[in-house]
Chains A and B, each alone.
Chain A
């Protein structure tokens, strides 16, 4: 390896390591703290590795008032979001991948532009409209907003997925006796399933982590992040650690499985045509 190349490599790895630590250290500290006995959290000097593994902190968090209820809300909202998003996003992605229609490129760009609207800007009008429609403080209402947020990603990811399923396969199914819809169900869908599962996980995580809209649009039916956000100021330190760690679990877990498909998304947005 030549010297400049070696240097470039070294710098690259140093940069990557620094970046990884930047992300991982807080997660590590939160994880460690949430399995440390509550009284030890306040100890000083603080040991890097806790003296014993303890579930007390987590237990305290989960038994706190409102946590289980908001956890149930969060899961319901995420599942509703997932259902809405896939019901609309997957057909949209299929259409963009398969059919050439007037305005297709504009549509693909337009999808991304919707993500540029700051939710803060829409918060008040949204709250007013939701009150009018009777959606305020309902799980469906929150799920609808989360769907709006997740939909652009879902369309882009599913476009990439369906582009990866050759058109020939569906046409072959059609010549073998399938209708267009039958060909989709029997051939395109099974082949797209792993990718669609990844898109579903991604959607779930977007909804699970969303805090701003959920806080503004609910009062009693809080989702977990909204509940934590509104109670965190008045909570002990170990409650915050446990809550923070609990929130990261699904994201960590899902991202590990779907990271391959996230490349689909970026590739699908620019390179593939």
Chain B
């Protein structure tokens, strides 16, 4: 029982603020889709439009091929987990979980059986007689998930379900949610502002900004091939580094000029960049794709160390190249003191180029 979700030109405004801007989105049956973006990007509003908690201004919402745009939440075949859990305080855990089935007028013994089954799945079968005030945050969260799952919904919607848990519990629940999804197989739309959560959970990630989807791809695609500067800068810890560069040609070879320094590019890119000589571009590269040398000898890009942060497994260097500041990951063995000049070697295959004006990635295929 997994349904496809399709949004067609969905728009939602609050006063003058456009929260969702004519969005088209297709979520495949059984898929785990993550809506990711900074706060205020419209991800929660999008979710609420799917749930039916917000009326769309125009556009259509389809669930399982059925036009549900005008239907109330109760008729959409969805279940939702709220950021605040929204566990009913005047009902026991069992009553909370069974609430939706009672609304469906399911037979009592059936409800009881279903409640116990899902409670066992979420390891809260010991707590069924308790009231929410007697539960910890993590337990309430499980109740909220159980209450949604017991409905066997065609679509499961989750609005930042882990954001109120402490770090350790969040890590544990994240893995558990992933496992649950594999077992239950419900189409899931998951809203978060935590990009690690998005990368770890999603089959695909929709990165949103100001009511629009910037990129909709598999996690590794979004990470390695950001569609624009915003996505690159939003995803990853530390985010992608950006260097201002210019396409130049000399001695028959095309290269990128970063200040007085030249960075070689892939052979395949050479001829494609040929037509862009003189154009200003932004060079993007991730911290782990930069090799650090103690000195800028042998053609390495010279950089001045600003800060060095040991992070246990590795150390994170903040360095300056011209006017641009970069974050570079390196082994803890390299000694780098602030003020020291080191050399950087960029992994050619991992370099991404963006248009300087629009910030969009340059495509070479």
Contact = CB atoms under 8 A, between A and B. Distances in A.
Interface string A168-185: 110111111111101000
Contacts of B72: 174, 179-180
A174 to B, nearest CB: 5
Interface residues of B, number: 23
B198 interface: no
Nearest to B83: A168
Interface string B81-101: 011101011100000000110
Contact of A175 (B79, B83, B84, B88): B79
Given A176-B103, A179-B72, A191 B90 contact: yes
A172 B74 contact: no
A223 B51 CA distance: 54
A168 B99 contact: no
A171 B44 CA distance: 14
B89 A175 contact: no
Interface in A150-196: 166, 168-169, 171-180, 182, 187, 190-191
Interface in A24-80: none
B53 A175 contact: yes
B82 A168 contact: yes
A56 to B, nearest CB: 49
Contacts of A179: 72, 74
Nearest to B89: A191
Contacts of A166: 84, 86
B74 to A, nearest CB: 5
A190 B99 CA distance: 15
A181 to B, nearest CB: 11
Nearest to B82: A168
Given A168-B84, A171-B53, A176 B79 contact: yes
Nearest to B99: A176
Contacts of B233: none
A191 B83 CA distance: 20
Interface string B30-51: 0000000000000000000001
A190 B90 contact: yes
A187 B99 CA distance: 11
B82 A176 contact: no
Contacts of B86: 166, 168-169, 171-172
Contacts of B147: 172, 176
B205 interface: no
A172, A176, A180 pick with most chain B CB within 10 angstroms:
A176
B104 interface: yes
B35 to A, nearest CB: 17
B100 A177 contact: yes
B80 A175 contact: yes
A87 to B, nearest CB: 23
Contacts of B74: 174-179
B78, B79, B103 pick with most chain A CB within 10 angstroms:
B103
B52, B72, B74, B80 pick with most chain A CB within 10 angstroms:
B74
Interface of B: 51-53, 72-74, 78-80, 82-84, 86, 88-90, 99-100, 103-104, 147, 151, 157
25 contacts: A168-B83, A168-B86, A169-B88, A169-B89, A171-B53, A171-B80, A171-B82, A172-B80, A172-B86, A172-B147, A173-B99, A174-B52, A174-B53, A174-B74, A175-B52, A175-B53, A176-B79, A176-B100, A177-B74, A177-B103, A182-B103, A187-B88, A187-B90, A190-B90, A191-B90
Nearest 9 Cβ contacts at the A-B interface:
A177-B103, A176-B100, A172-B86, A168-B86, A175-B80, A177-B74, A175-B73, A174-B73, A168-B84
